[in-house]
Copies of this chain bind each other. A is one copy, B any other.
């Protein structure tokens, strides 16, 4: 039976909501349940289940990894939102805004421990291997988040550093999601590597678009306020490219906005976006995203799979992430 991505998402959501019935007896449980129930694309668990299906696996063996990945991802969101002082997520109040900061710290901690608990329900002969891949990735995600925060105080971040940061913060988890699923289907090491590379390149492509949408998207469909990165002086590709491409006058104008301690937020967002457009960074970021999307598809084409339908669907998924800008 070949399942479509939409069916895999439905299957995962059913299982997740069944799990969440056990999360209601305390404030921490409620905070975890709240964040997971306000939606999200479930990209990581779906990629995990798809990785399993590409190699004709038993979906039940991949479900523990899928749950672990979604819990882990949401743990990082709960803590990142505190660190970024974000007030909304998926169009709803963030956990530290709706509950309080202590609940978001401790709720995140518990969510992460739960992620490991789910992972441990994997087939016992696979657990040690899945655990090592999961844990290495978890560490990389933390280091990516640290780089992201460090960049806020620097004006000399290079394109390479930026790509490294988003690779760690976002993309490796996409790759590992697919790889864990594929490994539960006992794929070959070569296929495990290719499917990881596909996910990682797709993740970079995805994050570039996300950064574009943070400045040029629509608040309603994006689920977060527009301009958050600009306010926080995030060194996204838009910013780095602009600092490189603008002429001296325009560059000093941009640097002035970065250094200002007091400003009207809407004024800063408007002015910086205009400078991004003058620099052509808004187009460059889309081109770079397309470049990584192409790499992703090349990697996907390397794998041995008889499930051609799902492979085609993954190519479409990868392209649809790009289409969010249209």
Contacts and interface: CB of A to CB of B under 8 A. Distances in A.
Q: Which of A109, A114, A120, A127 has the most CB of B within 10 A?
A: A109
Contact of A27 (B82, B127, B146): B146
A71 B83 CA distance: 22
Contacts of A102: 82-83, 149
Interface majority SS on A: helix, strand, loop or mixed?
helix
A145 B110 CA distance: 11
Contacts of A117: 135, 139
B112 A135 contact: no
A110 B142 contact: yes
Given A83-B105, A135-B120, A28 B146 contact: yes
A-B pairs with the 3 shortest C-beta distances?
Answer: A110-B142, A83-B102, A113-B138
A151 interface: no
A120 B138 CA distance: 14
Contact of A146 (B26, B135, B149): B26
Interface residues of A, number: 32
B145 A79 contact: no
Interface string A99-126: 0001001101110111011001000100
Contacts of A83: 102, 105-106
A247 interface: no
Nearest to A132: B120
Interface string A28-59: 10000000000000000000000000000000
